[in-house]
Amino acid sequence: MGRFADLLLSKQTGFAGDGGAGLSRAIADAAGLLPYEKSLIAGPGGLIMLARTGVDKSLLAVGARDKPSLWSRDFSGRILNAEVDGDAVSIRICPLTHDNAIALRRNFDLLAPRCFGVKAAAGLGDRLGLATPGHVRAVWGMGVAPFLAQQSIREMTRTHRSSRQVMDDACWGVLQEGWGAGFGSDADHLKNTTDIDDCVAAGFTMFTIDPGDHVDNSADTLTGAELAAMCDELNWDALETTGGDLKREYLSGDIKVGSLKLDVDEDVLARAAVKYGAAVAHTAAMFRHLAGAMGKRPFELEMSVDETETPTSTFEHYFVARELQRLGVKWVSLAPRFVGEFEKGIDYKGDHGRFSQCFREHVEVMREFGPYKISIHSGSDKFSIYPAMAELADGLVHLKTAGTSYLEALRVTAEIAPDLFREILAFAFERYETDKASYHVSGDPSKVARPDKLKDGDLPGVLDGDDGRQLLHVTFGSVVTAREGGGYVFRERLLMALRAHEDDYYAALEKHLRRHIEPFAQA
């Protein structure tokens, strides 16, 4: 009896771990492929694993030749009969298609996303579809829930990727690395029910509602009379209350939140209602639609108002949370607009002492109505404030990153394919003024050396300065979708270079993302 039969007789379900390395090599060798040794996973009556030849990857579904597993028939691919360590086996060699990814998630719970509640989490967006193995290595041993399928609708549109591609790429990466601790999926910055339905169909488990279009930033500067008029014009039916009821609710006595006492008068209340009332109503409508679409499937919801012009005050956070609760919305995390500047791809800009004080007050509100997690959007590379956030929130944090993984891909490209990087950098100069319009950045491209002025060894250094990082960060969509003569200008060459040097890319991601995650690590 060989190792294949031994593993089946053990009735083990899950990744084989280091003990399966020898068997995975034997199976891959029988198929004429190279194994991903961590990927071997046992199921009822058979095994699955990933293997490759060159940069092309295949799923191998393996069963006993005389008694093939029922689930192996769910996968499509060619059949190879072989002998592995004396066992007669049938190996189905399958391409990494969407249908095979669905079969993978249907048959192996470990490879389908799940909900994590208020466990400390890190969202790890992947704009190229290649980063998940590096992300897994970054979170290994950190005690933080990884959200490995995370993408905003804006990012999907700009990269020509679909919600199901985002999900599938994450699942293949989880299998490749043998990650058995579970992972989350975040359909980020959803603005309408069409986007919700698309991401529900793709299998997402967390949904971040972005009601930013319904936030009225003018409320911060309106005069008393203007403010009162705007308050009267609110859609009170959508809020399922009245102005009078709101006053009785909030102005009948002191409002205490933990150690805080919030000073609230009619103007403060009206300002919060005008600024966030429509956003609350929209979030409630989206939540109800989502609950109907998900049916009995478990899901989590986040509300995000981070991409608005003005900071969310402590009372405004209190107002939003209290009104969401009154309307029956259940949420796992909330992203305020913090004080200071959370620009893309660089460290925090602002008064660190003031940030810490305001963040502490947001945590007080969070504990009053939850606890739920404080979500930190545009969280990439904010190294100077991670320690304060980790300490003050005591693990009740969901840190979101995305663009920084793309920048690490470009850093590796600068090292392994300098000519390609030069072309991308030159193109970024052309696109920056247009592409920065929908992002919060202050990078000045005039402070970045032109590619023809840089030696090969100096190219990675472009990613070390704030101006170079933002120049390359916000132009990602234009770079990966630029077309000429019926084909992509950069996309396929960029992906091919990274696939050919995947371990270099994974190592760069592991090193860079661990710096993000370590301050939030849980024992």
Residue 82 has which token pair? 């072989």
The answer to whether residues 177 and 133 touch, using CB atoms and an 8 Å cutoff, is yes
State the Cα angle at 74 between 68 and 79, rounded to 5°. 55
The whole-angstrom distance between residue 99's C-alpha and the CA centroid of its chain comes to 23
Bridge partner residues of 483 (DSSP): 488
- Token pair, residue 191, equals 């603005």
- Please count the helices (runs of H) and the strands (runs of E) in the chain: 20, 19
- Which residues are known catalytic residues? 188, 302
Distance CA 483, CA 113 (A): 34
Contact (CB, 8 A) for 167 and 204: yes
348, 405, 429, 464, 503 from 411: Cα distances, Å: 22, 10, 17, 9, 14
Q: Which ranges constitute the DSSP H helices of 436-490?
A: 466-473, 476-481
Asked whether 372 and 362 are in contact (CB, 8 A), the reply is no
Q: Could you give the CA distance from residue 373 to residue 125 in angstroms, rounded to a whole number?
A: 19
Burial of 8 per CB tally in 10 Å (0-12, 13-18, 19+): buried
**Nearest to residue 15, comparing CAs of 98, 87, 80, 109?**
109
CB neighbourhood size of 353 (10 A): 9
